[in-house]
Each structure stands twice: as structure tokens, then as C-alpha cells.
Chain A
Amino acid sequence: MENDLTQNEEQLFQLIETKDYNQLTAEERLLVDELLSESEYNLQRRMISEAAKLFPESTANRLLLPVHPSKTIAVRTVPLYQAIAAVAATIALFLSLWPYQEATSNKPVDQTQLGGIDTVIQTQIITDTIIQYIEHRNQLAVRNTITTDEVADPLIQVKQIRLLEVNAIQIPELNATLIHTKGNSLKDDPTSQLLLGNVYQATNW
């Protein structure tokens, strides 16, 4: 039914629309007679002409229009291409902003901007006194050890032996003068006796 007409059918279609059977040429009659009888042709012609007069013309009711045509945003229609463009623009804006937000979130806080903050609440933490012991002795021991280690050189050892030898030189006259191995006993010392005597008297020893 939806297929295009054959050449003959198309010619017949045009003839039915334009000519009565008795107006057809001999050639046209041959064509019509192949597909339709004369009465069928005339019936179709009559049907077409009667169709135009089939219904009397009617009068439509008065047009009723809304008081406020749909101008509000909620009910207003927009062309499809405008709606698609709006959606595309929103998506593009979203995509362009998304990576920027990612990058900025990883940046360190700008310290200079903190100065602009009105109120800063500072919390002070007070801790107990911490006593720190310093091990001086250990440090000295370490230093001595290091010193001893430094004398590990055989040349230095020789020098030290020589010094000891020098100290051991026997000079009796000098020693007698310099070293007083025999002094007065305290009890024989008159100054001591004077001092100690006063003390003994005061305390009744």
C-alpha cells in the first residue's frame, strides 16, 4: 500500500482526478480499461467530486485565550536547541572548574593571608619543669681517655720518661732547702698555742 505506484497506476490516478470517462482519448481509454471498468472509473470520479460537499461548513466556537499567556518561567516552553545548549554549557563549566578545585586543595595554606584574619585564638600549653642532669664526670673521663690515647705515640712516651728522670735527680742540698719535711709541731708553735689556748679557755675543754 505504501509502495510507489507503477507508471500505469500513476497515469490512471491523474486521469481520475482530471477527466471524465467520456473525455478520455482512445489511448487513455485503453489504459483505463486495463485497470478498471468504466463504471468503476465513473464511481471514483463521482466519489471525489461528492467528497468536497460531504460535510457542511461549521462555525467554530469563540477562541478562549488564557488571561496571562504562559510567560512565567515555570510553564514557558523553550526551543529544544536552547535547552541542549544550556545543558552543554553547564557541563562545560563544571568540567572546567573541577580540575582547578583539585589542584588548589593540595596547595599549602598561604601564611600571608592569615594576617587578615580578625580573631586568632591561641592556646598556651604549660608543661612541668624538666630537670636536666648533665653528666660532667663522664665527659671528663672521656677527655682523659682521649688524652691518654694521644700519648700512645712512642716518641712522646720517651719524652715523658725523660721528664720523670729529671725529677728524680738527687740534689740533697736543694731538696733540704726547698722541701721542709721536718717542721715544728703544731703544739710547739707559739702562735698556735696562743690561738688554741684562747679557744680551750672559752669552751672549757
Chain B
Amino acid sequence: MVEVIDHHSHVALTELHRRYSGKLLGYFMKMMHQDQELAQDFVQELFLRILEKKHLYDPEKKFYTWVFTIASNMCKTAYRRQPMQTLSSDGFELNNHTHLGDDLAEKARFRELLKISLEQLELPQKTVFVLRYMEQFSLNEIAEITDVSLGTVKSRLFYATKKMTEHLKSFDPTYEANLFKLQ
């Protein structure tokens, strides 16, 4: 891969962009509070970094994982420079498209609450949750991307899920009661 970038940098990079830019944009949006402009800038910057740091790529590892390692580090740096304001339930306006008994509306409401719960997480937990349940990485790949042990990844995931559940219940206590109806 690195050789390809070396010899045909623009063509190779364009192909990589075609393959991965959508996924990376989604990841950045999830991580950066759905700020699409910022996410687009991050995608551009990431591909320039690939061009500059191609010598750091280890061919023994998956290219896709390496790209997400860079992306994860970019998010970490962004959080460190300017801590993101977490959305609270008080300041978040839920779209009032719910009618009792309407499953679709209920699902939309659930998803919005889920987004809020995701924003409540701290960066390490949010990162593993997004990588695992949104980007479908394996636990080992997440350990590699975030540079932590497998046990730590499991622990972060377990507590992230638990914390989100608590948030969801606090936003709408009826969830527990209505859960069987929703399914």
C-alpha cells in the first residue's frame, strides 16, 4: 500500500478516499457532535496525513485499522485543545413527532435520546462505543486503534453501555415499562 502511495500518490490516495471517506466522515461526525463541516475538514486533513506519514504504516497490520488509529488520535487532540460541551437533557430539544402507539415515532425518539446519551459519555468510552457498535470493529482491532489492552476495551464498553442505559431511563422512565411493547 505504501509503495503504491509512493509511486502514484495522487491516484492511490484518491482511491483510498473513495473507499474510506464515507466511513471516516461518519466516524468524525459521531465523535465531533455531528458537526459536519468540522468532520469534512478532518477527513481532508486525515488523507494529507496519510500522504505525509505513509512511512509509519506497518504492512503487517490492516490499513483500515491504521487509518482509524489516525482518526481516533485526531479526535483526541481536538478534545484536548477544545473540550467539547456535552449536550445535557435540559438543553436538548426532542422533536415532538411522537404520538402514543406510533412505533416509528417512538423509534425516532429513542434514537434521539440515544444520541444524547452518546454525547454524555467521556471520550475513551465514547470512542470504544462508536468503534464497536457503530463502525463494527472487533474488540482486538479497537484495542489496536486505541492503544489499550483488550480487557480495558471490554471494561470501557461494558460501563459505557451501562451509563447510557441509565441516561435513557432518566430521560424517559417509561422505557423500561414500554420496552416489551416496542419490540
Which A residues are closer than 8 A to B by beta carbons?
A: 1-5, 9-10, 12-13, 16, 37, 39-40, 42-44, 46-48, 50-55, 57-61, 63-66, 69-70, 77, 79
Known: A42-B183, A61-B44. A13 touches B25 (CB 8 A): no
Q: Knowing that A5-B158, A42-B183 are A-B contacts, what are 13 other residue pairs whose CB atoms are under 8 Å apart, sorted by A's residue number?
A: A4-B151, A43-B175, A47-B114, A51-B133, A52-B133, A54-B30, A55-B26, A55-B29, A57-B22, A58-B22, A65-B10, A69-B9, A79-B55
7 pairs from A and B in contact (CB 8 Å cutoff): A43-B165, A47-B117, A47-B161, A47-B168, A48-B133, A54-B118, A60-B17
Tell me the bound Cα distance from A69 to B164 in angstroms: 44
* Chain B residues in 8 Å Cβ range of A52: 133-134, 136
A198 to B47, CA, bound (A): 143
In contact, B110 and A50 (Cβ under 8 angstroms): yes
Which DSSP category, helix, strand, loop or mixed, fits chain A's interface? Answer: loop
Question: B residues within 8 A CB of A2?
Answer: 152, 155-156
Q: How far is the CA of A66 from the CA of B40 in the complex (A)?
A: 17
Q: How far is the CA of A70 from the CA of B9 in the complex (A)?
A: 11
Q: Which B148-174 residues sit within 8 Å CB-CB of chain A?
A: 151-152, 154-159, 161-162, 164-165, 168-169
- Beta-carbon contacts of B30-43 to A below 8 Å, as 1s and 0s? 10001010011001
CA distance A110 to B147 in the complex (A): 65
Q: How far is the CB of B3 from chain A (nearest CB, A)?
A: 16
Residues 15-33 (chain B) with a chain A CB within 8 angstroms? 17, 21-22, 24-26, 29-30
Q: Which of these, B22, B51, B165, contacts A44 with CB under 8 Å?
A: B165
B52 close to chain A: CB less than 8 A? yes
Q: How large is the interface on B (under 10, 10 to 19, 20 to 34, 35 or more residues)?
A: 35 or more
Give the 4 A-B residue pairs with the shortest CB-CB distance, closest first. Answer: A60-B21, A4-B151, A51-B133, A39-B176
Contacts of A64 in B (CB 8 A): 44
B13 in contact (CB, < 8 A): yes
Chain A residues, CB < 8 A from B21: 59-60, 63
How close is A19's CB to chain B, nearest CB, in angstroms? 14
Point out the residues of chain B lying under 8 angstroms from A70, CB to CB.
52
User: How distant is B118 from chain A, measured CB to nearest CB, in Å?
Assistant: 8
Q: Is B53 an interface residue (CB 8 A)?
A: yes
Among B159, B164, B176, point to the contact of A1 (Cβ < 8 A): B159
Tell me the bound Cα distance from A13 to B47 in angstroms.
35
Interface contact A4-B155, CB-CB below 8 Å: yes
Q: How far is the CA of A63 from the CA of B43 in the complex (A)?
A: 9
Residues of chain B in range 101-154 having any CB-CB distance to chain A below 8 Å: 107, 110-111, 114-115, 117-118, 125, 129, 133-134, 136, 151-152, 154
| Chain A residue with Cβ nearest B17 | A63
A37: chain B residues within 8 A (beta carbon)? 176
Q: Is the CB of A58 within 8 A of B155?
A: no
Interface pair A54/B43, CB less than 8 Å apart: no
Considering the complex, give the chain B residue whose CB is closest to the CB of A66. B48
| Among B9, B162, B180: residue with most chain A CB under 10 A | B162
Q: Judge whether B14 is part of the interface by a CB distance below 8 angstroms.
A: yes
